[in-house]
């Protein structure tokens, strides 16, 4: 959540410094710049503030995470050429997605000579369980390669990548990541062609591109578990798992709001970094899962 005023915004830095006890930050991010909030960083003089902290030695390198349009990224990197890195959402499913603009934003960052930190390489876990046609594509090439490994290696194979942030929730997932990243090999030509086929398949998919960041749920007046509802719906939309979708939906809304409880206030859409038309999808989820 954006700080309400300049003092509160700057105090977040000192609070983080105190809580970590690190003395300084090697890499410091301005968080989640988007088309609907970037002016606050100018209004609160945050760009000058981080430069001051760098001069004091409290920040070694600074950058920002980004969820906006290519036009805005071009403006920010032109206005602030001393930014050293950008954190972008990059995965093979969103590479040509106009609402995420992975490729366009990547190319702009590289044109400005910026290193890139990759977030959402597995798209909130979605690409660890891709549609059945994509699974078959990967399994036919090598059944021993995990679906997540295809996604992470796609991002890590790009030029100018500093690091790929992979969310892990189990020891098994960590061991899988280590198995192919410890001695990393970029995607070869054949594997790149397979990814391109997967992208075409995903481009024809009508699954909801939710990454389960949960920004949408914090202010929902009806307490609707939006990511869980979308996850349930995607089991049917993407993989044809009707029974599993109905079961997951029933569990998700057991003691909270249902998809049909949406009052169309759209606060969720204003908070969504993926720019998903959440209210439209909730209506479709209600029609599909509440019959």
Instruction: Output the pLDDT for position 247.
Output: 94
**Torsion angle, alpha carbons of 97, 102, 198, 215, to 10:** -70
Least confidently predicted of 8-22, 129-143, 231-245, 267-281: 231-245
Residues 146 and 96 in one domain: yes
Residues 31 and 167 in one domain: yes
Residues 199 and 239 in one domain: no
Residue range of the domain that includes 64: 23-203
**Phi, psi for residue 108 in degrees, rounded to 5:** -65, -45
CATH number at residue 189: 3.20.20.100
- Look over the chain and give the mean of its residue pLDDT values, rounded to a whole number: 93
Look at the block and give the residue holding tokens 């001069």. 55
**Phi, psi for residue 228 in degrees, rounded to 5:** -70, -35
Q: Is residue 14 assigned to a domain? A: no
Q: Is residue 79 assigned to a domain? A: yes
Q: Is residue 218 assigned to a domain? A: no
Contact indicator for 158, 106 with CB cutoff of 8 Å: yes
| pLDDT tens column, 87-108 | 999 999 998 888 898 989 999 9
Residues 247 and 118 in one domain: no
Total structural domains in the chain?
A: 2
Residues 270 and 174 in one domain: no
What span, in angstroms and rounded, lies between the C-alpha atoms of 257 and 36? 27
Q: Is the pLDDT of residue 238 over 80?
A: no
Q: Is residue 134 assigned to a domain? A: yes
Instruction: Output the pLDDT for position 204.
Output: 62
What span, in angstroms and rounded, lies between the C-alpha atoms of 68 and 83? 17
Residues 163 and 269 in one domain: no
Instruction: Output the pLDDT for position 189.
Output: 84
Q: Is residue 111 assigned to a domain? A: yes
**Torsion angle, alpha carbons of 249, 231, 148, 152, to 10:** -160
Residues 190 and 97 in one domain: yes
Among residues 112, 114, 115, 88, the alpha carbon closest in space to that of 102 is found at: 88
Q: Is this structure's pTM higher than 0.95?
A: no
């Amino acid at each position: 959540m954006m700080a309400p005023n300049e003092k509160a915004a700057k105090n977040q830095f000192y609070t983080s410094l105190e809580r970590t006890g690190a003395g300084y930050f090697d890499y410091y991010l301005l968080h989640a710049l988007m088309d609907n909030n970037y002016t606050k960083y100018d209004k609160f003089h945050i760009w000058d503030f981080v430069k001051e902290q760098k001069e004091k030695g409290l920040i070694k390198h600074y950058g920002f995470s980004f969820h906006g349009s290519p036009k805005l990224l071009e403006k920010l990197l032109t206005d602030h050429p001393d930014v050293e890195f950008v954190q972008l959402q990059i995965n093979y499913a969103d590479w040509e997605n106009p609402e995420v603009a992975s490729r366009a934003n990547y190319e702009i960052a590289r044109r400005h000579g910026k290193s890139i930190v990759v977030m959402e390489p597995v798209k909130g876990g979605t690409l660890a369980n891709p549609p059945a046609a994509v699974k078959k594509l990967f399994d036919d090439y090598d059944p021993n390669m995990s679906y997540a490994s295809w996604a992470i290696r796609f991002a890590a194979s790009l030029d100018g990548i500093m690091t790929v942030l992979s969310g892990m929730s189990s020891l098994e997932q960590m061991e899988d990541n280590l198995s192919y990243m410890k001695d990393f090999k970029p995607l070869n030509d054949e594997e790149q062609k397979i990814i391109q086929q997967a992208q075409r398949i995903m481009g024809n998919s009508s699954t909801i591109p939710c990454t389960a960041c949960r920004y949408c749920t914090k202010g929902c007046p009806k307490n609707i578990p939006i990511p869980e509802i979308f996850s349930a719906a995607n089991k049917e939309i993407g993989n044809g798992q009707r029974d599993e979708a109905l079961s997951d939906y029933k569990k998700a809304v057991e003691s909270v709001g249902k998809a049909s409880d949406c009052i169309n206030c759209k606060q969720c859409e204003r908070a969504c970094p993926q720019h998903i038309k959440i209210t439209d999808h909730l209506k479709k989820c209600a029609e599909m899962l509440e019959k």
